[in-house]
Homo-oligomer: A and B are copies of this chain.
């Protein structure tokens, strides 16, 4: 199977998911328009968010499906891709409220969009509060849409199937993982420092690795009828891959180019995110430097010179190198597990390509 053939099939699936999302949302817009024209901004926010993006989760599901013998361009896997993209959009909307992120993919985040609408219309009371409230509801709506799209798959995703079990588990685990993430921001400073890296590793497993790669791949496989051996093989590949993917994300959050990532550099530090990178920095630094880091993390007013200072600390104490070594080790394990999978040439090449993009990306 040649690279152009792979690109063509993958391109077709991405186009099918985009068309599926458009058609699903057009149906919902008709319902919403019947309620009131005032609710249009909720739908606009969701539409904007599901347009574009890397479609990593949908693609993992697709190649999990194809690897388990699912046929190309089947409506069931397109519907699953739509459900995963809608779930991701819902998670991003609420994440951006929680993380106080004002930008998303270079534009305003959903709560900012609603605050701006409030301002532009000259409405009463507090614009920020309105923005948060509207974004909570938009995320809830999008979460419901995700489920509606998933249930729409029909018998292969019905109650009692492996696919439904994975979808349910994915949702619960990512929410638990996100809670552990915000908990570590506030509890990390008063907890055992030596456990920081281990706690951060557990967080990325649940909030990111299982959700971004392991469960989507397994979900696609399960929809196509994969047996337990194949599903276990998928996990052995996708779980370390997802962990490496998130570690790369954490490194980019501090060292990435804002022009490429679409997010201001240092926001993760201002947010107080206790990542593996931060855990290493706290553990590998002199006590005075660790204390400085503890005090600096979560300070909304960290300026660029302080962010640069923290970057330098992370380089000097070896935290960056330790994180990169962890990315290498996890990637190595993922690629080894991938090569052991009993896959045809096409899904094998596709998963290899996705894995390489996930761990070596710049944005």
Do the beta carbons of B137 and A140 come within 8 Å of each other?
Answer: no
Cα distance, A123 to B272, chains bound together (Å): 13
Instruction: Give bound CA distance, A80 to B31, whole Å.
Output: 23
Which of A53-61, A183-191, A243-251 forms part of the interface with chain B?
A183-191
Task: Indicate whether A202 reaches chain B with its CB closer than 8 angstroms.
Answer: yes
Q: Which of B31, B122, B158, B186 contacts A169 (CB 8 A)?
A: B31
A148 on interface, CB distance cutoff 8 Å: yes
CB within 8 Å of B: which of A77-127?
90, 94, 97-98, 118, 121-125
- Chain copies in complex: 2
Q: For the complex, is A144 an interface residue (Cβ under 8 Å from B)?
A: yes
Q: Given A98-B136, A159-B154, do A168 and B187 touch, yes or no (CB 8 Å)?
A: no
Report whether A94 and B178 are in contact in the complex, using a CB–CB cutoff of 8 Å: no
Contact across chains for B130 and A38 when beta carbons are under 8 A apart: no
A206 at the interface (CB under 8 A from B): yes
User: Which B residues are CB-close (under 8 A) to A185?
Assistant: 124-125, 130
Whether A175 sits at the interface, judged by CB under 8 Å, is yes
Which residues of A in the span 24-47 have a Cβ within 8 Å of any Cβ on B? Answer: 28, 31-32, 35-36, 38-39, 42
Minimal beta-carbon separation of A274 from chain B (angstroms): 10
A153 at the interface (CB under 8 A from B): yes
Q: Report Cα–Cα, A132/B99, bound state, in Å.
A: 11
Determine chain A's interface SS by DSSP, over half rule: helix
A interface with B by C-beta (< 8 Å): 28, 31-32, 35-36, 38-39, 42, 90, 94, 97-98, 118, 121-125, 130, 132-134, 136-141, 143-145, 147-148, 151-155, 158-160, 164, 168-169, 171-173, 175-180, 182-183, 185-190, 202, 206, 272, 298
Bound-state CA distance A140–B118 (Å) is 25
Determine whether the beta carbon of A137 is less than 8 Å from that of B179.
yes
Q: How far is the CB of A36 from chain B (nearest CB, A)?
A: 6
Give the distance to chain B from A211, nearest Cβ to Cβ, in Å: 12
* Listed residue (A90, A185, A188) with the most chain B CB atoms within 10 angstroms of its CB: A185
Given A121-B187, A152-B159, CB of A42 within 8 Å of CB of B176: yes
CB distance from A122 to the nearest CB of B (A): 6
